[in-house]
Amino acid sequence: MTFDLSARLAERRAAHLHRQRPLLESPQAPLARVDGEELLAFCSNDYLGLANHPEVIRALRDGAARWGVGGGASHLVIGHSGPHHELELALADFTGRPRALLFSTGYMANLAAVTALVGQGDTVLEDRLNHASLLDAGLLSGARFSRYLHNDADSLAKRLEKASGNTLVVSDGVFSMDGDLADLPALCARARRQGAWMMVDDAHGVGPLGATGGGIVEHFGLGLEDVPVLVGTLGKAFGTAGAFVAGSEELIETLIQFARPYIYTTSQPPAVACATLKSLELVRREHWRREHLNRLVARFRQGAEAMGLTLMDSPTPIQPILVGDSARALRLSSLLRRRGLLVGAIRPPTVPAGSARLRVTFSAAHSEAQVERLLEALADGWEELNREPGEDA
């Protein structure tokens, strides 16, 4: 008996679900060289335009000169360097929490937090549209795992009534494929009423949301009692790499002692922590980035709605255009690329069947003129798509 991998791949191609990796040949920036073409990109999560910021680059270079390149070992052996420690202190201050703990990736942070906090005899309740890392963490924890209806506090309440043991409610802060916000005030109230803990993965909210970029918790004015477990990533709005969990002294010490993805992995390069300290400074200091980003999003939504495109309920830099059919979504992405723009088509299984979309994302590095160019290209591409033979408008 052998694995028939070719048949699986052929099935995926036939369903218009085959994925390909664009080859980026330039730094993260609105104008990018991809697969040998110069394109205007609207598909990066570099929301505040810091991934190629000269001060962040300089901090990385100076950090490597001072601390070398590799982390060398896990944090618990000899891999917890000065920059790591300084960054954890800065992130704790930034989030208004007693402590923060660094991780190499957001996926690892989510796996670590969930699996360290619950196990057999406990309960994990998650939003149906949570990120794959959160869903995987729930399944791997060994706890009783259930998914409530998207952003539905009443659906959560029904599951909370049946929960047993320690109960952890888990939600994205900003849903990465829809761009909408979790209804945290309602979800947190239900969780607290039942004695459950709330964990929020704010990967796409930290940076763009909140008066100081503190994310969805700051946006809603919530505290440690409402959201005991807060996860944030550093490879999106911060423009660097890694992730963190912020919370109480007891939470962080529990993760250090029991979270296998933290204990058994080499720390991130200390120079990356140096770069993140600089980007955190910029996030807190340069409020104009969030203000400019909000203006771009508002203009895009106004123009896209005027041409009849179906947008999703998102106030964030993630602005999906709902197409529905995977083949049509791919075709619209191709038509934009022909016009010099790069916008990715997102298809199942990343999103539910029948909800393929173009995931447009904005950065503070985009200009107003570039948004106008996107709207013009969308108008032309949408018109061409809907007049092609055999396609329904």
Distances (CA, A) of 25 to 21, 28, 35, 345, 376: 12, 9, 7, 20, 26
Q: Where in the chain is the domain with CATH 3.40.640.10?
A: 54-285
| Residues 37-47, mean pLDDT to the nearest whole number | 97
203 vs 214: CA distance, rounded Å:
11
Helix axes 326-338 and 368-387, enclosed angle (nearest 10): 130
- Residues 11, 7: Cα–Cα separation, whole Å: 6
Q: Mean pLDDT over residues 220-248, rounded?
A: 98
Q: Give 390's pLDDT tier (boundaries 50, 70, 90).
A: low
Q: Nearest-CA neighbor of 366 among 309, 292, 306, 302? A: 292
Domain covering 54-285: architecture: 3-Layer(aba) Sandwich (3.40)
Do residues 232 and 243 touch, judged by C-beta distance below 8 A? yes
Question: What is the average per-residue pLDDT within 30-53?
Answer: 96
Pair 88, 133: CB distance under 8 Å: no
Alpha-carbon separation of residue 322 from 334, 346, 362 (angstroms) = 16, 10, 17
Cα 19 versus chain centre, distance = 19
Note the pLDDT of residue 393: 37
Q: What is the pLDDT of residues 369-387, one digit of tens each?
A: 999 999 999 999 999 998 8
| Active-site amino acid positions | 176, 204, 236
pLDDT tens digits, 276-333: 999 999 999 999 999 999 999 999 999 999 999 999 999 999 999 999 999 999 999 9
Residue 57, exposed/middle/buried by CB under 10 A (0-12, 13-18, 19+)?
middle
- pLDDT tens-digit map of 122-175: 999 999 999 999 999 999 999 999 999 999 999 999 999 999 999 999 999 999
Asked whether the whole model's pTM tops 0.85, one would answer yes
| pLDDT for 2 | 73
Nearest Cα neighbor of 346 from 66, 109, 129, 165 is 129
Provide the pLDDT for residue 392.
Answer: 44
Instruction: Give the CATH number of domain 15-44+287-387; options: 3.40.50.300, 3.50.50.100, 3.90.1150.10, 2.40.160.20.
Output: 3.90.1150.10
pLDDT tens digits along 82-111: 999 999 999 999 999 999 999 999 999 999
Residues of the chain with CATH 3.90.1150.10: 15-44+287-387
